[in-house]
Structure 1
Amino acid sequence: MQPGPLNLISDVAGLRVGNAEDAALKSGVSVVTAEAPFVASVAVMGGAPGTRETDLLAPDKSAPGVDALVLSGGSAFGLAAAQGVMDALHGAGRGFQILSARVPIVPAAILFDLLNGGDKAWGENPYPALGRAALAAAGPRFELGSVGTGCGAQTAMHKGGLGSASLVLEDGITVGALVAVNPMGSVTTPSGRHFWAAPFEIDGEFGGLGIDPVPDIILPASRKASAMAGLGNTTIAVVATDADLDKAQCHRMAVAAHDGIGRAILPAHSPMDGDLVFSAATGHKALVAPGMQLAAIGHAASLCLSRAIARAVWEATPAPKDTLPTLRAELQSRSS
Structure 2
Amino acid sequence: MQVPHMNKGEGETSYAKNSQVQKKIISVGSSMVEAAIMNILGEMQPTSMGVADLGCSSGPNSLTVVCQIIHVVATISHEMGRPVPELTVSLNDLPCNDFNYMFQSLPELYKKLKNDHNGFSEGNCYILGSPGSFYGRLFPSHSLHFVHSSSSLHWLSQVPSSLEATHLNKEKIYISKSSSASVVEAYQQQFRKDFSLFLKSRAQEMVVKGRMVLAFLGRRSLDPSADEACYQWELLARALMSLALDGLVEKENIDSFNIPYYAPSLEEVQYEVEKEGSFIIDCVEAFELEWDGGDSSGLKESRGTRVAKCIRAVVEPMFESHFRLQAETMDELFRRYTKIIDDCFSQRRLHYICLLISFVKKS
TM-score (norm 1): 0.30
TM-score (norm 2): 0.28
Higher strand share: 1
Which one has the largest radius of gyration? 2
Higher helix share: 2
